[in-house]
Amino acid sequence: MHGMEKVPSALTLAQHRSHDYRFLIRCWRELVEEAGLRMRILTRVGGMPVYGLESKSPDDGRPEIYISAGVHGDEVAGPWGLLEWARENGALLRERRFLLFPAMNPVGMILNTRMDHQGRDLNRSFHELEDELMVAWRKLMEGRKLAIGLCLHEDYDGQGCYLYELNKTRKTIGKAVLQDCAEVIAVDGRRSMDGSRSNEGLIAKRKIPVLPGLPEAIVLHELGAPVALTFETPSEFSLVDRVRAQKTFITSALKHACVL
Ligand SMILES: [Zn+2]
């Protein structure tokens, strides 16, 4: 695999650098050139830069693919899964237009906390129009047409993988995606997650739920992404498996949503 010589991923996990935000960013820096990505600082929060990566290639009229990770700092399989996926998909990254957020909550990642540098749940803050990070995020999102939005998360109560699906298209893809992910980590069999009814790991919403603060996926859906998926791996399972499941999720979601 390309890039293994410089920052071997197996070593990343073996050395327990899973909360090492600077190391994660260093790994991305080694990757961006070859993947045809531009790395920019959205803003600084708690003294730490938050990065957004976008394709350098000119707009070809096709909608962009959005993937974000690390909105909750203690859910580290997302950021490392996204990195691993990117390492293995350099050609695709160059071929299509992507918008990637490697770790949206750096202070939370470093401190191993769900909350951000202000002690708030970032995934209930995407409606905020005056917050520095949200203003920078919205500015970057302005005028973009999205094909799909993928939000990578974990759940410490999780007993397997599960998925929230917001989908305006005729064909839901959640079941097929979970089936692929189940080859790495079984589907969470609970009937209800956080008050939402789940059907074999799938929480599908036709109507946008009313919540006190807005999660990223809902705002992406409102901004025009016809499909917005929030994937959850169980935080108490092996980190190696969780990273693999996250990587599998990205590949499977892009395949089943037919956005490639
Ligand atoms: Zn989360």
Please name the residues in contact with 237: beta carbons below 8 A apart, sequence gap of 6 or more: 158, 185
CA of 40 to the centre of ligand 1 (A): 24
* Mean pLDDT taken over the chain: 92
Q: Kindly list the structural domains of the chain, giving each domain's residue range(s) and its CATH number in brackets, ordered by start.
A: 10-256 (3.40.630.10)
**222 phi/psi in degrees, rounded to 5:** -65, -30
CB 153 within 8 A of CB 72: yes
pLDDT for position 5: 46
Distances (CA, A) of 158 to 9, 185, 188: 25, 11, 7
Give me the torsion for CA of 44, 46, 48, 51, rounded to 10°.
Answer: -50
CA of 214 to the centre of ligand 1 (A): 13
Distances (CA, A) of 55 to 52, 58, 64, 90: 10, 8, 9, 11
DSSP 21: H
**Alpha carbon distance 101, 136 (integer Å):** 12
Which of the residues are catalytic? 232
Interval 57-103: pLDDT, tens: 888 889 999 999 999 999 999 999 999 999 999 999 999 999 999 99
**Alpha carbon distance 239, 112 (integer Å):** 14
Please name the residues in contact with 35: beta carbons below 8 A apart, sequence gap of 6 or more: 86, 89, 90, 93, 94
pTM, rounded to two decimals: 0.93
Interval 183-238: pLDDT, tens: 999 999 999 988 889 999 999 977 777 788 999 999 999 999 999 999 999 999 99
**92 phi/psi in degrees, rounded to 5:** -65, -40
Angle between the N-to-C axes of helices 77-88 and 21-35, in degrees from 0 to 180, rounded to the nearest 10: 20
CA of 59 to the centre of ligand 1 (A): 31
Strand runs labelled E in the chain: 37-45, 48-55, 64-69, 98-101, 146-155, 162-167, 192-193, 196-197, 202-205, 227-234
pLDDT for position 4: 44
CA of 151 to the centre of ligand 1 (A): 9
